[in-house]
Structure 1
Amino acid sequence: MARWRWRKKGSGEDAAATMPADVADVDRASQATTWQNAFANVGDADAVAYRTGNAQAIGAGAIAVTGVYKPTVQLPPEALRPPAEVDAPTGLNDLPYQPGLFVGRDRELDLLDTALASPGTALVQAVAGLGGIGKSTLAAHWAATRLHGRAPVRWITADSPAAVQKGLADLATALQPVLARALPVEALAEWGLQWLASHTGWLIVLDNVNDPADIAPLIARAPGGRFLITSRLATAWTDAATLVRLDILLPAESLALLTRITTGPHPARDLDGAADLCETLGHLPLAIEQVAAYLAQNPLTTPRAYLHLLSQHPAQMYRAGAATTAAGATIARVWNITLDCITRIQPHAADLLRTLAWYAPDHIPAVLHHAGTVDPPADSAALGLLTAYSMITPDPAANTLAIHRLVQALARTPDPEDPHRTPQLIDQAREQATQGLYTNLPEAWNTPDTWDTWRTLLPHIDAFATHTINTEGTINAARILNETALFLGNQGQSGPATTYFQRALTDTVRLLGEDHRYTLTYLNNLASAYEWSGDLGRAIPMYEQSLTDTARVMGEDHPDTLISRNNLASAYESAGDLERAIPLYEQSLTDTERLLGEDHPSTLTYRHNLASTYESAGDPERAIALYEQTLVDRLRVMGEDHPDTLTTSNNLAYTYEIAGDLERAASLHGLTLSYRVRVLGDDHPDTLTSRNNLAHTYESARDLERAIPLYEQTLSDTVRILGEDHPFTEMLRGNLTRAIAERDNVEPS
């Protein structure tokens, strides 16, 4: 038997394999010399030669041999055959394939099939996406079910150079098991690589590649087969024949996967809440698998019960898997590998990810992800790094980005055991998110030119409010909620407005005390929200308290006191208590004219409100005179497109109708409606009001052919925008019923 020893390369000395002098078999000695030459200079990129029947210089990217190998090993002659002469036996495939963990993905499978069918010898395909999105599962399923006889199929974990080397060494050992007794891992890897270089028809799956440089030498030296790469890097595979960007499962697919794993051992178990659980997990395959395994192991825990556990103990549940769940495969750990890499490269990227966790997952505008940036290049680099690792998905056309909701949930959950999610880091990120929203709030909430900005920010304010509901708010957070509630109230959404006003008031009282100006303002605003929703029983006492406290703290002539007095008068009017409403309005108007002047917006508002009270008191002549004066002044001071101008125009038209002047009423209602459609849009509550009022005027004029279609259109829009149970919806439904009964000469039901 041929024998040789390896010795470590020394200074100025080439590593060589020495052969014993007593080798009797010349042919074997010749083969040994071939192997000696094949491995003599492994690691010298310019000198590795593959001396076989199809000899070629392989040099570039050779895998280095290091260390000392001393044992004397006897090998059979067949072990000395060059890699090119070794055929792959059957049973060499080693896919980690579990059919029960695969659902859907037809489009992605077809994309990989198309590339496989293309002509040519070398083919690189890549599947990229967020950790846990199912890249490895897709690759294993495709390789196991779609290759139609291609062999062998080998799976190499490729997250480091050492892992790639081990995978190639394992291939060599599988092909020639006896080599494992004679060669170090570096030499085995080189043998495996030379086997790939001299054969065709194989598929190598390079799983979880972190750096394209780790696999570049392998791809360059083995052009005769197929490589399928999976990686969290989404931007590194421009040369791939196919790049499949993997996204979350469809809802039906995630539910099917959860059900399949959960009910395996318990087919009759309770799956209440399963669809909601999949939605909470963001239809992420890894999360579905982890939670389903937990549920399968805990048959008394329903999906609904798991949701409760997740809401109450998120940090523990994100770490919790089944007994068979690998420690590194839980939701809490899978992204830490990526975060470790990101933090080493650009620490600001991890800070930015934690900040983005407090917003809505989709359509995050640039003003938020650039908020507070003092180093724009670093911010740009951070966004690029998060994009490269599939942690965020930018939309360059809209200048927005998206982030998976489960990534967000984990990134805002404090965990003292996780260096990326310490309570201090989470608190810092929440404050940064607060500052981002606060600094980008529009200056006004009741002017149409700010509404696009409000609508862009609103989903992220709502998400922020939801995520912080169990934390003590700050002054800036209270300001965000108060200003947002004013906008929502203006848009007819009194329910959410009331909730936000309540939270703003609670936090401000706690932080600043009951007599602070912000507290008094938020108290008045909360009373307004109750009035908007028709809850005068709570609105009026709150207004009375607001007026008393504001007058005591700020003084009788302070503008805030005038506002409180006007708002209390409005509530009295809404309650039908005109005896108290009219004197308060008259006092507010007199004081405002004296303090602020006749053209001040507040003066015009109070004059308008007093006119409304005169109309409610059955004095349309005085109301019309005041409305007409106010309309002229508002046109001059504010312009014809201002919402307040249109409000006065609407009310004047309504008062014309009350006074019996239907022609002027219909004309002015029609004009106001056209302006509101143009300025506010078809769906604004004021536009709906104008359309209803015009229909009512037509009805009063017995023109039911025009009144009924307008009522029907307005009712349909109002149900869609404000809901079935909104007071305005109920009023409209009554108007339509009455008009139809009048047309049909029947009593309204």
Structure 2
Amino acid sequence: MQTGDHATVVSLSPEALRPPDQVSARAGLDTLAARPGLFVGRTGELDRLDAGLATPGGAVVQAVHGLGGIGKSTLAAHWAATRPHHCAPIRWITAHTSAGVQQGLAELAAAMQPALTTAALPIEALAEWAMQWLASHTGWLLILDNVNDPADIAPLLAKTHTRGRFLITSRLATVWHHLPTVVRLDVLDEADALDLLTRTATANAPGRDLDGAADLCAELGRLPLAIEQAAAYIVQNPLITPRAYLTLLYHYPAQMYRAGAVGTPPERTIARIWHLTLDRITALQPQAADLLRLLAWYAPDQIPATLLGELADPPALNEALGLLTAYSMIAPDPATGTLALHRLVQALARTPDPNDPHRTSQLIDQARTHATIQLDAALPATWDTPATWPTWRTLLPHIDALADHAPAHTDTDTTAHLLDYAGRFLDNQGQLAHAITHIRRALTDRLRLLGSDHPSTLASRNNLAGVYRLAGDLVRAVPLYKQTLADRLRVLGADHPDTLISRNNLANAYRSAGDLERAVPLYEQTLADRLRVLGSDHPSTLISRNNLAGVYRLAGNLVRAVPLYEQTLADRLRVLGSDHPSTLASRNNLAGAYRSAGDLERAVPLFQQTLADRLRVLGSDHPSTLASRNNLAGAYRSAGNLVRAVPLYEQTLADRLRVLGSDHPDTLISRNNLANAYRSAGDLERAIALFQQTLVDRLRVLGPDHPSTLASRNNLADVYRLAGDLE
């Protein structure tokens, strides 16, 4: 009824007036969120909840936190429903807002004292009644699901936590450190992820085609919600296999991240869950969303701070990082100073979606451009200096990720520079196929953006030819070198340093092809021009002198080769220092000339010194170090010391297979050399098998006319002769 002053007077029945401490919990009061029919893995996390929450006298408040879609609510519901925790009643409260907490408490009060529902009490009064009940009883369990702000549950915990038990789930990662036990939920392991997809997709169709299931789990980053979303889509589309789903995901990512099966609540899709998280993050710090889109273009792990860019000021950057960390969108590693984030978060953040204001095409394009600039700015000044290699190895996964995810038509001149420069580092490290991919794309970009005559375009063409030459693909290398030399002569002039580089490199290609008649005059002309234009101490001049000595050696003219090598080594020691890679190359080459001249007394110590220096300066896996080991083995073989030669050859072949791959020309050289050593040791059975394999591989990789292929055919014939197989 109403009084004259319009105040509401509530008439309560005697049953409703019973104080909370006199109301006992009856059976049937449990409420749990609907759980999926299938639960996999999480044994360790379930055990931790058992130990911490269900042990008498143990922790009374615990939290499970992790990325949206990681399975926090599923874990909590499964534990509460299946494990022997001895708690009753169990109440599930959706606690994403303070209003949600209050509503859940009001529902608890109404369940405990049904007469309260007829009394028209305000929700605040019902919530207060429920807190009084919780504070006066023991043994209950409240699951506070999806807490966005600890302040929303603070009053409840303060009044009641000593009496019952709480299990909190939250995307927040950094606010629960004060609790006795905090469980950080990560993605499923490979076996459990595959089990979840397989069993869900085949629940009603045991014989269906699951081709690509493991690949799909990997692409989805083993995130439970994403796997469930994909499996549900596959179930309702009988013609869709996991492989076909992968194809759809590749071509239509925005639609597939939104696509749930019929009956799936829209808020239970990956796109919607993270959209809501970004809504909250952006409201608190708009630049945090910019930072997330930037991070989306890098590799998912070990992102260095140098790639984060600059926001308005350092405090703003720190605030953005803190928010993304708090909401489990990124995971900092204090030990390394790097960041990580889930690959599916990245995929979503770099996928334009006109229906999502956080992922418009303009925002995505800005982030990609920013990431490219940051990577390019972080590049070391050189690619051939060992001191810079740790930085290169840190950056390379992120350069590769950008190249993989950025459509080629969106590349800028900065992208081209980044890929060309990275290709030169990969070339130096012997990763030739990888280098070709990046440099070829850089050349395509520069032709489109700068034109065929721009110096940068000519540089990329020269670099691509160089990697083809090292890979043994002279059919591609020689025409590219010829074209680049002709263009540089026309555009830059005969004396430009880049033109002289092109002439030297074309001579290199002729030498690799065994065409010494063309190589020698080009080397001689280039050395003369560099002496005149650059001076006798310029590193490029020293390169020319070294190369001319090398071609004289190949031509059998050791009278000219040895003095040139000796002069070059002396000059490089003086100009570059004893540890410079070019100085080490000169020492190696002089040792090779001594070996060719039969002077093993001088050759072996030089090879030994060079190997020791390269191990120290370049590391054990650098292609030049592997070359030194191969060359020392060759010197031992020439000296008749097969006891030392054979193990070195075997080690070098194993290392080159591991580092360079089975088709790298240096690996084929190692196999050929080991076969020669077996032949010298009289082990013709092993020699024949290796020579046969090397010839087959060289025919496939280098072609029938390459000098190394011809050498293999000759070697195989010779070992057949030694074995008496004249036919």
TM-score bracket relative to the smaller structure: over 0.9
- Residues 258-279 of structure 1, C-alpha deviations (whole Å, 9 max, x = no match): 1111111111100000000000
Note the C-alpha offset of 1:80: 2.6
How far did residue 187 of structure 1 move?
Answer: 2.2
The structural deviation recorded for 1:378 is: 0.7
Q: Does 1:139 align with 2:76?
A: yes
C-alpha displacement of 1:179? 1.8
- Residue 155 of structure 1 pairs with residue 92 of structure 2: yes
Q: Does 1:540 align with 2:478?
A: yes
Rg larger in structure: 1
Per-residue CA deviation, residues 320-372 of structure 1 (Å, 9 max, x unaligned), is 01012110111111011110111011111100000000000000011112x24
Of 203, 209, 225, which aligns to 1:270? 209
Specify the SS of the correspondent of 1:112.
Answer: helix
What is the match of residue 198 of structure 1? 136
> Who is 1:678 aligned against?
616
Shift of 1:507: 0.7
Cα deviation for residue 161 of structure 1 reads 1.0
For residues 116 and 657 of structure 2, the distance between their equivalents in structure 1, rounded to whole angstroms, comes to 77
Tell me the secondary structure at the aligned position of residue 397 of structure 1.
Answer: coil
Which amino acid counterpart does residue 334 of structure 2 have in structure 1?
Answer: P
With over 3 angstroms needed to count, the CA separation of the structure-2 counterparts of 1:520 and 1:169, relative to structure 1, is same
Distance 2:106 2:404 in 1: 52
The residue type equivalent to 2:248 in the other structure is L
Q: In structure 1, the residue corresponding to 2:353 is in which secondary structure? A: coil
Q: 1:79 aligns with which of 16, 22, 45?
A: 16
- Residue in structure 2 matching 1:306, options 235, 245, 250: 245
Give, as a single letter, the amino acid of the residue that structure 2 aligns with 1:84.
Answer: D
Residues 500-519 of structure 1 aligned to structure 2 (within 5 Å)? 500-519=438-457
Structure 1 counterpart of 2:153, one-letter code: I
| Aligned position for 1:207 | 145
- What CA distance in whole angstroms lies between the structure 2 residues aligned with 1:341 and 1:166? 21
Give the conservation status (yes or no) of the 8 Å contact 1:121–1:225: no
Which whole-Å deviations, capped at 9, do the CAs of 1:424-446 have from their partners, x for residues lacking one?
00001001101110111111001
Residues 353-368 of structure 1 correspond to what in structure 2 (within 5 A)? 353-368=292-307
Contact between 1:261 and 1:289, CA under 8 Å: does it hold in 2? yes
Task: State how 1:329-408 maps to structure 2 within 5 Å.
Answer: 329-369=268-308, 371-408=309-346
- Distance in 1, Cα, partners of 2:494 & 2:588: 32
Q: Is the 8 A contact 2:59 2:180 kept in 1?
A: no
Provide closer, same or farther for how the CA distance between residues 478 and 723 of structure 1 changes in structure 2, counting only shifts above 3 A. Answer: same
Local SS of the residue matching 1:80: coil
Counterpart of 1:474 (choices 412, 426, 436) is: 412
Pick which of 376-385 and 732-741 moved more: 732-741
Q: Which amino acid aligns with 2:341?
A: I
Partner of 1:71 in structure 2?
none
Please show how residues 420-431 of structure 1 align to structure 2 within 5 Å: 420-431=358-369
Aligned pair in 2 of structure 1 residues 351, 176: CA closer, same or farther (>3 Å)?
Answer: same
2:406 is the alignment partner of 1:459: no
Q: After superposition, what is the alpha-carbon deviation per residue over 1:509-555, rounded to whole angstroms, capped at 9, x for unaligned?
A: 11111111111111111111110110000100010000000110011
Q: Could you tell me which residue of structure 1 aligns to residue 233 of structure 2? A: 294
Which moved further from structure 2: 259-268 or 303-312?
A: 259-268
Residue identity matched to 2:145: D
Q: Does residue 558 in structure 1 map to residue 496 in structure 2?
A: yes
SS of structure 1 residue aligned to 2:16: helix
Q: Which of 548, 551, 576 is the matching residue for 1:638? A: 576
Q: Which residue, 165, 180, 184 being the options, matches 1:241?
A: 180
Q: Is the 8 A contact 1:97 1:144 kept in 2?
A: no
Distance 2:581 2:346 in 1: 39
Per-residue deviation, 1:745: 5.4
Matched, 1:576 2:522: no
Q: Indicate how the Cα distance of structure 1 residues 7 and 513 shifts in structure 2: closer, same or farther if over 3 A, else same.
A: farther
CA 1:608/1:488 → structure 2, altered by over 3 Å: closer, same or farther? same
Confirm or deny that 1:648 pairs with 2:586: yes
How many pairs does the alignment contain? 685
1:118 positional shift: 4.7
Match for residue 695 of structure 1 among 633, 636, 646: 633
1:26-50 Cα shifts (integer Å, max 9, x gaps): xxxxxx6xxxxxxxxxxxxxxxxxx
Partner SS, residue 489 of structure 1:
helix
1:146-199 deviation per Cα after TM superposition (whole angstroms, max 9, x unaligned): 244310000000000111111111111222223222223222222222211111
Paired residue type of 1:458: L
Q: Deviations over 1:289-313 (max 9, x none)?
A: 1111111111210000000000001
Q: Indicate conservation of the 8 Å contact 1:472/1:507, yes or no.
A: no
- Please tell me whether the aligned partners of residues 97 and 141 of structure 1 are also in contact (alpha carbons under 8 angstroms): no
Equivalent pair of 1:101/1:137 in contact (CA under 8 Å): no
Note if 1:181 corresponds to 2:118.
yes
Deviation readout 1:455-475 (Å, 9 max, x if unpaired): 010111111110114442100
Kindly provide the amino acid, as one letter, of the partner of residue 444 in structure 2.
T
Deviations 1:67-121 (A, max 9, x none): xxxxxxxx4x323322211111112111125363321111111111121245548
Residues 8, 629 of structure 1: alpha-carbon distance in 2 compared, 3 angstrom cutoff: farther
Residue 25 of structure 1 corresponds to which residue in structure 2? none
CA distance in 2: counterparts of 1:745 and 1:277, whole angstroms: 49
Distance (Å, rounded) in 2 between the aligned partners of 1:313 and 1:717: 42
Per-residue deviation, 1:6: 7.3
| Cα separation, 2, equivalents of 1:585 and 1:150 | 87
Distance 1:133 1:745, change over 3 A: closer
Is 1:728–2:666 an aligned residue pair? yes
Q: Secondary structure at the match of 1:540?
A: helix
User: 1:727 offset after TM fit, Å?
Assistant: 2.0
Is residue 600 of structure 1 aligned with residue 535 of structure 2? no
Unpaired runs of at least 5, structure 1: 20-31, 33-74
How far, CA to CA, are the matches of 1:465 and 1:533 in structure 2?
Answer: 22
Alpha-carbon separation, structure 2, partners of 1:18 and 1:622: 114
- Residue 451 of structure 2 is aligned to residue 520 of structure 1: no
Question: Which of 157, 160, 167 is the aligned partner of 2:104?
Answer: 167
- Aligned equivalent of 1:70: none
**Is 2:52–2:58's contact at 8 Å kept on the other side of the alignment?**
no
Counterpart of 2:29 in structure 1 is 92
SS at match of 1:401: strand
Cα pair 1:585 1:609 within 8 Å, conserved: yes
Q: Give the superposed CA RMSD.
A: 1.6
Matches of 2:84 and 2:5 in 1, distance apart? 44
User: What residue in structure 1 maps to residue 698 of structure 2?
Assistant: none
Q: Deviation per CA, 1:674-719, whole angstroms, max 9, x where unpaired?
A: 0000000000000000000000111111100000110111111111
